[in-house]
Chain A
Amino acid sequence: MKRNKLRLLGVVASMAMLGTALAGCGTQTATSPSASGTTTSSNQPVYGGTLTMDLSSQFPHLDPAKAYDTTSDDAVEQFYNQLVTYQGATNKIIPDLATYTVSGGGKVYTFHIKKAKFWNGDPVTAQSFITEFDRVLENSMQSGGQGFVDPLIQGSAAYVAGHAKTVSGLKALNQNTLQITLLHPSATFLYVLAMPFFSAVDPSYVAAHPEPYIDTHPMGTGPFELASYTPGKDYILKKNPNYFIKGIPYLNKIVFNINNSPSAVLFHFEQGQTGLISWNQNGIPPEDYLPLMNNPKYSGDVVKQTEVAINYLGLNTKVGPTANVNVRRALEHAVNKQVIVRILDGLAVPANQIIPPSMPAGYESTLPANAQYTYDPALAKKLLAKAGYPTGFSTTIYTDNTSPTDLKTAEAVQQMFAQVGVHATVNQTSWNTFLTNNETGKQGIFTLAWFEDFPDPSDFLNTLFNSNEAPVNNSTNYSNPQVDALLNEGATMPAGTARDNVYKQAQNIIMSQAPWIPLVYPVYDAAVQPWVKGFYINPNLMDPLQNIWIAPHSS
């Protein structure tokens, strides 16, 4: 998904540094660095207990059909289950509510649904999923999931257009068997099914309640049930004793205190009141990262992992001086990515290509000579002169206000460009305005990030460079028939080396034409108390809470 981390507020957020500077000079002496909580300890898991965490804002959505931001997405995972899911911290798809077989040349998926119940006692059936697919496809639901299955599932287009009452590709063969028929084979369909959009919902519950009610009152099969929500104060989750996976969850209760003060988040963690900072994709508040790392007592509690994501600078291939490929290639040499890493407090890895290294397929350890660019301002200047801009040019870098680091990045690039004679002004707007402007395809140079929807190179290359995605996701208006052909071919190929090579080939062509300057791959971080066991980071979905247990400790 495009960067839309729902970071609510932060007008005076940087002041947290002050608070922690104070905390740093306190009398607390450092004890031996605590053991990191990344892996399950060899100790026997303990049942019971309450895990308390700070939550930066209310969950915008708890309806799986609507949850598509980094705050809601992971909340839905606690309340609902899907047909399939990711195993632990890996990219491997395993059965969740159903086992499956694939037939018909990769077009027919048959799911055998396990015995499971919603919290209200209703059983999970094939219809539980069909109802949810229908909801996601319904235009009035405004679901971000629609584009993942329409037109892929047979008959979905007719249903969306209102020409059919049901989706012909979705069939309940019997109570517990669901058959999904696709228009063409898809190597990514199981990844799509693991997304929270396609959770089991209770058809009778959905029919009995209005939409806004469902969005705030989940009814799922998940490991935790929403016991109460006090607006502005907290969410309290209690254990689902009838969870269909035997033996979990371990915790009796989870409390999310709504609190978006970075200083308070840090103090709560240091007091031992909260077990985790950042249980979801949002990471530690940027203001709290250095104070934690600089305090030997807590630096060992911080865990990090490179995200399957990229921050990039888009160079419009149709508008302004960057329409000239030689200008774009020149600018590639003007950016020092190490500086950007420093600006991001080291929570980033320099990027040299579109596919992040943590993507299971498509990443290239070495790029062809014409697709790689070293930092070399002198060369950049020379290439600009050759491209017809011996004295450089003036331009604008567009950025948004989602995170304080966006502006810092844009300003760093501004300075680097100035060194090669390109004088840019930075135009920062709200996310909505940025998005609206960007989708006109008229923004010459812009900063943006892309976070994977699922671990497949098509989610980066096809979404961001196929000419049929311009200008919405392909905001640089990149268009190359050869690349389009490769991407369209990859879309229907079976997973494997041949398919990976198609994407590598596409990436090499794209990189040689430089519609992007890949900046950095961001690093996800979390702080985990030593007594919180079983925490892990899945690159796709953060759903560790059901496996977390609390070791006995003195508070």
Chain B
Amino acid sequence: MIAYIIRRIGGSIVVLIGISIITFSLAYLVPANPARAIVGPHASEALVLQVEKQLGLNQPLPIRYVHYMENLLQGNLGTSYVLDQPVTTLIGQRAGATAQLAVTAWIGELLIGLPIGIISALYDRKAVDHVVSIFALIGISLPVFFVGLELMYWVGFRLGWLPVGGSGGFTFVILPALTYAITGAAYYARLLKSSMIDVMNSDYIRTAKAKGASPNRVILRHALRNAIIPVMTYGGIDIASLFGGVVVIEDVFGYSGIGQLTVQAINNLDVPVIMGTVLFAALFVVLFNLLVDVLYGIVDPRITY
């Protein structure tokens, strides 16, 4: 197990380096010199050249990349061209808000999705299943921004129960998280349902039922544990992408998270911030994939490394 984890971490580093090279090249291949945008139209040519030099833009691309990686190893992600602050600061300022939204949204998805999945599996092709499936289908089909705006309008504006938008404490997280949960829960429900149906038809469930185990024990201990594997795989990818920022939801609610920072950086071609946020998101994808693989072994003893 330990050897496996070490191997995987090694592989992850290679992946991250690959991502950094691709992002760096793409971002700098676009002809965009930030120097003029920084100093404005009335600056002299000499000042523009000076700024280019300060930003290291007068050096060839490979050398710039090596410098970037050197700084990265020292925990320095560079400075934003637009906001003129260290990228680590900018990400750090938003990481907490993003984590809060990511975890809340994810738990919301599970709380809605998993029970629906179990119920519709148990009542497969019965009236309950049909009703639940219709709701799941609606959840999948609704655009995120539509659900977000409806919640914003009814819960935030008309009822005034929660803030309509912006960021601050936990009250600002609820509506965005709920939006994500409503639109995302259906995926969990469908995944769990199909895998539960498979499991419920297997021999060991019949054995468990035959030996007189209570229905709850059969479902939760025997069936769910086996059926959860595909859900875990999806769940890992899901929360990893949540940590990378939820662009549309952040945008609808004006929530200051990593997603907004990323899109702003891309719009402004603020390369250091693009690099930082892409690597930040990639880090979580790699991390959660590793975590999921390790969890497989814990949940399903048949899987060994």
Contact = CB atoms under 8 A, between A and B. Distances in A.
Contact of A60 (B36, B84, B263, B269): B84
A9 B267 contact: yes
Contacts of A208: none
Interface string A418-457: 0000000000011111011101000000000000010000
A212 B153 CA distance: 40
Contacts of A233: 166-168, 256
A6 B81 CA distance: 13
A290 interface: no
Which of under 10, 10 to 19, 20 to 34, or 35 or more describes the interface residues of A? 35 or more
Contact of A267 (B38, B86, B164): B164
Interface residues of B, number: 60
Given A232-B256, A268-B165, A472 B158 contact: no
B51 interface: yes
Nearest to B266: A430
A9 B260 contact: yes
Given A1-B41, A261-B165, A267-B164, A433 B47 contact: no
Contacts of B260: 8-9, 260
B33 interface: yes
A258 interface: yes
Given A267-B156, A432-B33, A232 B85 contact: no
A432 B252 contact: no
A233 B267 CA distance: 22
A66 B47 CA distance: 14
Contact of A433 (B40, B256, B269): B269
Contacts, number: 192
A264 interface: yes
A361 B266 CA distance: 40
Contacts of B164: 263-264, 267-268, 271
Contacts of A257: 166, 168
Contacts of A61: 84
Interface of B: 30-34, 36-47, 50-51, 54, 81-86, 93-94, 97, 145-146, 149-150, 152-153, 156-158, 160, 164-168, 247-248, 251-257, 260, 263-264, 266-269
Closest 9 CB pairs of A and B: A264-B165, A261-B254, A144-B40, A147-B42, A231-B93, A232-B256, A259-B254, A432-B32, A259-B166
Given A267-B164, A432-B269, 18 more contacts: A1-B40, A4-B37, A10-B267, A23-B153, A139-B46, A140-B50, A144-B40, A144-B41, A146-B39, A146-B44, A231-B93, A232-B97, A263-B252, A401-B267, A433-B30, A435-B33, A436-B33, A473-B41
Interface of A: 1-2, 4, 6, 8-13, 15, 18-19, 22-23, 26, 54, 57-58, 60-61, 66, 68, 139-140, 142-148, 150, 160, 212, 215-216, 231-234, 257-261, 263-265, 267-268, 270-271, 401, 429-433, 435-437, 439, 453, 463, 472-473
16 contacts: A6-B82, A8-B268, A10-B267, A12-B251, A18-B145, A19-B152, A54-B166, A144-B40, A147-B42, A233-B166, A258-B166, A260-B251, A263-B149, A267-B157, A433-B269, A472-B36
